[in-house]
Amino acid sequence: MRERRADEVDWAPLEKVLPLEWCAGFMFMGYWGDVRLYKHGFTRYYLNLDSKCRAYAYIGERYVRSNLESAIESVFEGLEEMSETRASAFDDGAIRRRHAALAEAGWTVVSLGLEESEKS
């Protein structure tokens, strides 16, 4: 098996197991061998899939095969409580809404990155 670079994003397994409109909530985090690590932006849970769209759970410092349907349900757990849907995109607007909600709840929000006026 060849080594992959972390920046070689592979959305194909995720797009095969989920409706395309649900994929916009995920970030590609990299690989663990043949397993692709997809992190949901809102729930912060992972959906880990290999090239054949088999699901994996991280247990005891290793990835073990798991049930695909259960893995999909688990990654979206708690989403409704955040007033988001499975089709909600994790984009700049969502991040701003999340930061505003945290600030309104009394949390201090620290964000690392460029301010909108600094982007070019």
What string of DSSP letters covers the chain? Answer: -----TT----HHHHHHS-HHHHTTEEEEEEETTEEEEEETTT--EEEE-TT--EEEEETTEEEEE-HHHHHHHHTTTTGGGT--TT---SHHHHHHHHHHHHHTT------S--GGG--
User: What integer pLDDT is reported at residue 120 of this predicted model?
Assistant: 47
Report the side by side order of strands in the sheet with 62-66.
26-32, 35-40, 46-49, 55-59, 62-66
pLDDT at 1 over 50: no
| pLDDT 10s digits, 37-71 | 999 999 999 999 999 999 999 999 899 999 999 99
Query: CA-CA distance, 39 to 44, in Å (whole number)?
Result: 6
Q: Which residue has the higher pLDDT, 105 or 1?
A: 105
pLDDT at 112 over 90: no
Q: What is the pTM of this model?
A: 0.83
Q: Which residues share a beta bridge with 111?
A: none
What letter represents residue 115's amino acid? E
